[in-house]
A and B are shown apart, each in its own frame.
Chain A
Amino acid sequence: MLTMTNISKVYRSEMVQTHALRDFNLQVNEGEFIAVTGPSGSGKTTFLNIAGMLETYTSGTYQLDDVDVGRLSDNGRAELRNQKIGFIFQGFNLIPDLNLYENVEVPLRYRGIKAAERKRRIERCLEQVGLGARAKHLPAQLSGGQQQRVAIARALAGEPRFLLADEPTGNLDSLMARQVMELLENINKDGATIIMVTHDPELARRAERNIQVVDGQICDFKLYQGGLEKQRAGAEA
């Protein structure tokens, strides 16, 4: 589903070159829940941005559902991103002067979905995250946890195959973080593939697969038992 081969990303300035990713290889299968951990500055977010086509890479190949991302134009990447990928950010990134309904509507508008279908999806997704009754509220009227749930609803509304979450619980207290994590697990059970960057080892342990990134490279693979069993069971089925 997602295959990165020898991906490298170099940031160049006049004085220095910074290798954010080097020879980064990864294959992600459909339905996986992957946690990406690593120290600050290790390249986690760069990896996530490249996976989400928010940044281009310097070398290597990246295939998403058999589409060679490197060959796509900016508009092509935007279209693919809009159709296949949902984002959840640490800072929620809701648009402050749009109400919850309108925030969730943003990716659907860019996809050209008709108004009736948009309405159906938005109401369903807001219900799913428990905020159906607050559709007309502005983000500033919600708590951090609620805002993150709106962000999740926004990501879900496009019915993405991939959900990329960059420290989704980073700005939340432990109770809110647990709720958000449970929500992500439910979404994963419904079939979405999730890649989550996190600093929290406890949250990472709840994922099926844990990738550690150090100095722009994957240094270790930890396949948790539960995840293994689940994969095997899926393969046998």
Chain B
Amino acid sequence: MFVHYIDLGWRSLKRTPVVSLLMLLAIAIGIGITMTSLSVYHMMSVNPMPHKNDQLFAVQLRTMDQGVDWWTPDDLPFQLTYQDAMNLRKSPVPFRQAAMLKTGFGVKPANPDISPFIETARAADSDFFAMYEVPFAYGAPWDKAVDLQGEAVAVIGAELNQKLFGGGNNIGKDIVLDSVSYRIIGILKAWKLEPQIYDLNNGAWGQNEQLFIPFSLLPIQELKSWGNNNGWKYEEQKTYQDKLNSEVLWLQYKVELADKQAQQDYRDYLAGYIKEQQQLGRFQRDDAEGDIKNIAQWLDYRQIVSDDNKILVGLSFMFLAVCLANILSLLLAKFLKRAPEIGVRRALGASKTQVFAQHLVEVGMLGLAGGALGLVIAQLGLYLLRSGFSRYEAVAQMDLAMWLAAPTISLLACLLAGCYPAWKVCRTTPALYLKTQ
């Protein structure tokens, strides 16, 4: 019977082409606009590592002097000082932990045909790769010993490997960064982690770094920060060591905690650390404290999805509701015009349920077709966003969930709008129309 209803629905849509087209356009435009804003929202709010949501944590410390406020709701800075990062690295509580910094180099390729170029890099502890499940094509991260003493080794991404060597296993070869030679010990597979949860200070979207070196090289190579440096008091910095000893907040610090007990233990550890530093004369404020935030909390805290985006999604759904209201009235008029035919069908044995189902199938077809056309409109909308606003390049995309959501939302929305007209027409009193036809 379902196939028959599809046949009847198709005939009905063809019978009133203008009305059908109007309804199709209404739902398609509604879905197109809704899916455009929803896709951006979805891509922005997506947790890229939901399975590690309660294991990976960002570490924050309120270390400023009394009377110095931060601009965050809880008065906690996003980053840490070098001193604190180095101290926290000694904690035995985290299963894994990584201090890190966005930096960069001038790369001088061995191949004379390739011109030197600038490449951003990440200086991080070796746990970084396991914490963020960075996949290796060849080699492995550096040893824990390198995290302590520093060694000029590097892990490069698949793209950089292609650019420098044309791909393949190039473990053991050297890469020259700012005139210093680094031995390549690992080559990554193609990899993408968006939003870039390990460092939201320097743009949540865009390509992940293609070059990784040990964090322990920071004092040795005097690595410069290519990210944010947040100072809250005047400190004279004549040497690199001055910066390392300063209260400038410029490093990201992440920990992986195995379970709730470890989380509590780490909070206690941070509290102990604050107390210890206060006794040493640092952290001269009454409410000095540490905090950890999991991935979802961190994304929300850093307002990766702005209120504007949320409002836009709300508005687009309201627009969809207006489209549905129009569809509802068109369907009502169309279905009621067909009441005499329904009267005949009822007289010939159709139950109310069958009449209702017949009309819902027709509405469902409209919903699916509208969803498909809506997807095209949404793709156009996302393309315009990508072309017009570079910051939307990474997020004005549709993933599989959104591709499936479009026809689903369209179908459900149309069924919702079609319920009342279908119910109304299935309650037709057949006798009323049989004599008048």
Taking CB atoms, residues of chain A closer than 8 Å to B349 are 78-79, 81-83, 107, 110-111, 158
Within 8 A of B (CB), among A48-83: 49, 52, 54-55, 74-75, 78-79, 81-83
Contact at A54–B346, with CB atoms within 8 Å? yes
A157 → B minimal CB distance (Å): 10
Cα–Cα, bound, A94→B344 (Å): 8
A to B CB contacts below 8 Å, 19 in the list: A52-B347, A54-B346, A75-B351, A78-B351, A78-B354, A81-B347, A89-B435, A89-B437, A91-B436, A91-B437, A93-B437, A95-B341, A95-B344, A106-B348, A109-B1, A110-B345, A110-B351, A154-B348, A166-B434
- Determine whether the beta carbon of A75 is less than 8 Å from that of B347: no
Interface: A90 (CB within 8 A): yes
Which of B15, B431, B436 has a CB less than 8 Å from the CB of A97?
B15
Task: State whether A45 touches B435 (Cβ < 8 A).
Answer: yes
Q: Which residues of B contact A94 (CB under 8 A)?
A: 344
| Contact status of A110 and B344, CB under 8 A, knowing A54-B431, A55-B429, A93-B434 | no
Q: Are the C-beta atoms of A82 and B348 separated by less than 8 Å?
A: yes
CB-CB < 8 A to A89: which residues of B?
A: 434-435, 437
Contact assessment for A54 and B434 in the assembled complex, using a CB-CB cutoff below 8 Å: yes
A107 touching B348 by the CB < 8 A rule? yes
Task: Kindly state the separation between the CA atoms of A97 and B351 in the bound complex, as whole angstroms.
Answer: 21
Question: Is A87 interfacial (CB 8 A cutoff)?
Answer: yes
**Interface flag for B430 (CB, 8 Å):** yes
Contact of A49 among B4, B353, B431 (CB under 8 A): B431
Q: Taking the complex as formed, is B275 at the interface, i.e. its CB lies under 8 A from any CB of chain A?
A: no
* B429 contacts A106, C-beta separation under 8 Å: no
Contacts of B340 in A (CB 8 A): 93
Q: Are the C-beta atoms of B344 and A93 separated by less than 8 Å?
A: yes
Q: Which residue of B lies closest to A167 (CB)?
A: B435
Is the C-beta of B11 less than 8 angstroms from some C-beta in chain A?
A: yes
Q: Are A79 and B351 in contact (CB under 8 A)?
A: yes
Give chain B interface residues in 278-293, CB to chain A under 8 Å: none
Q: A residues within 8 A CB of B435?
A: 45, 89-91, 166
Closest to B354 in A: A110
A87 touches B351 (CB 8 A): no
CB-based contact A78/B344 at 8 Å: no
- Within the complex, what minimum Cβ distance (angstroms) separates B15 from chain A? 6
Interfacial chain A residues near B148, Cβ < 8 Å: none
Q: A49 to B433: give the CA distance in the assembly, Å.
A: 12
A49 to chain B: closest residue by CB: B431
Give Cα distance in the complex from A90 to B436, angstroms.
9
Query: How many positions in chain B have a CB within 8 Å of any CB in the partner chain?
Result: 25
Q: Within the assembled complex, what's the spacing in Å between the Cα atoms of A100 and B345?
A: 15
Residue of A nearest to B8 (CB): A98
A91 to B343, CA, bound (A): 13
Q: Give the contacts of A106-124 with B (CB-CB under 8 A).
A: 106-107, 109-112
Q: Are B431 and A75 in contact (CB under 8 A)?
A: no
Chain A residues within 8 Å of B118, by CB:
none
Interface assignment of B352: CB less than 8 Å from any CB of chain A: yes
Least Cβ distance of B55 to chain A in Å?
55
Q: How far is the CA of A74 from the CA of B15 in the complex (A)?
A: 29
Cβ-based interface call for B350 (8 A): yes
State the Cβ distance, B266 to closest chain A Cβ, in Å. 64
A contact residues around B352 at 8 Å (CB): 74-75, 78
CB-nearest residue of chain B to A93: B344
Instruction: Quote the shortest CB–CB distance from A5 to chain B (angstroms).
Output: 21
> How long is the Cα–Cα vector from A110 to B345 in the complex, in angstroms?
9
Chain B positions 415-437 with a Cβ under 8 Å from a chain A Cβ: 429-431, 434-437
Chain B residue at minimum C-beta to C-beta distance from A46: B431
Report the minimum CB–CB distance from B118 to chain A (whole Å). 69
A158 to B393, CA, bound (A): 63
Query: Whose C-beta in chain B lies nearest to the C-beta of A81?
Result: B349
Considering only residues 319-366 of chain B, those with a C-beta below 8 Å from chain A are 340-341, 343-354
Enumerate chain B residues within 8 angstroms of A107, measured Cβ to Cβ.
348-349
Contact pick for B350, options A45, A110, A158, CB 8 Å? A110
When distances are taken between beta carbons in the complex, the residues of chain B under 8 Å from A45 are: 431, 435
For A131-172 the 0/1 string (1 means CB < 8 A from B) is 000000000000000000000001000100000001000000
- Residues A27-45 near B (CB distance < 8 A): 45
CA of A55 to CA of B4, assembled, Å: 27
Query: Considering the chains assembled together, what is the distance between the CA atoms of A82 and B347 in angstroms?
Result: 8
